[in-house]
Amino acid sequence: MTVPVNFLYLGGDKCGSTWVHRILSQHPDVTLAHAKELFYFDRFYEKGPNWYKKQFPQNSQSARTGEICHDYLYSDIALRRIARDLPDDSRFLITVRAPVERTVSHYKYLRKIGRTSASMAEALQSQPQIIEHSMFGKHVARAQAILGKDRVHVLPFELLKSDPPAFGRAMCNALAIRFHPNLPYENRVLEAQAARNPMVVRFLRNSGWALRRLGKPQIVSQVKTHPLVTRLLFDPNKQAQIPRLESNTLRDLATRFNEDQSLLAECVPDMWKSAS
């Protein structure tokens, strides 16, 4: 690998990746790719290392240079490519979240962008990734096995919610960079705002994937993060409307995640200790 990338945020999705990107983009010891979510190691690897190199500022002198892409955690082939291509001193961040809460958040997001209008019980059947992406024990275990347990750092999303500066400190410790207390850790990222027109949002998302395939992820990132675009597409004063969540659906979900959560505890027994 000719790119000086030595850290990646691997996942999960709906676990604070936008906040992580926002904070690290302002950290003086970190250089990020020009765009959030390049999807190089899973979807666009055929573009080659020269294309990937162009996605980063050149001649970076930062202690850490890397990318925030929350899908790598879920791809075996991406993890194996990362293990092969990145240097031995690389570090990898994973944020995990209470699985039922993350599953509900994922469902709300799919409704927000117009991907589904079904009830949650129906969506769990038709959109299996909603549950699969909450199986943190399974995915963390695989990442540790492929990338090395000492290089994979797992942080709890619950800490980000309850104490953002403490999460920021833990993140800096994981990356072996200085903690800067004056970064905007308390700035929250709102989720599940209601789309003013779900069909327009769905069209723009499909257009975004077309631009990514053309090798223009920076355009997508600029559009997605532009305040005017956000105001035009989403109503900040209205949460995404969802059907009433049946208590038995939530209860069944909790039971479904029990075994995987036990595996996560085995993989990261000192998660809260390392985050302190």
- Domain map (residue ranges) of the chain: 7-189+246-274
pLDDT class of 245 with cuts at 50, 70, 90:
confident
Peptide bond into 12 cis (omega under 30): yes
Residue 226's pLDDT is: 58
CA distances to 67, 111, 124, 142, 245 from 119, rounded to whole Å, are: 34, 10, 9, 32, 8
Kindly give the residue spans of alpha helices, DSSP state H, lying in the chain: 17-24, 48-54, 76-85, 99-112, 120-126, 129-132, 136-147, 157-162, 164-175, 198-213, 217-225, 227-233, 247-267, 271-274
- Per-residue pLDDT tens for 174-192? 999 999 999 999 987 655 5
Q: What is the pTM of this model?
A: 0.87
Q: Give CATH superfamily name and number for 7-189+246-274.
A: P-loop containing nucleotide triphosphate hydrolases (3.40.50.300)
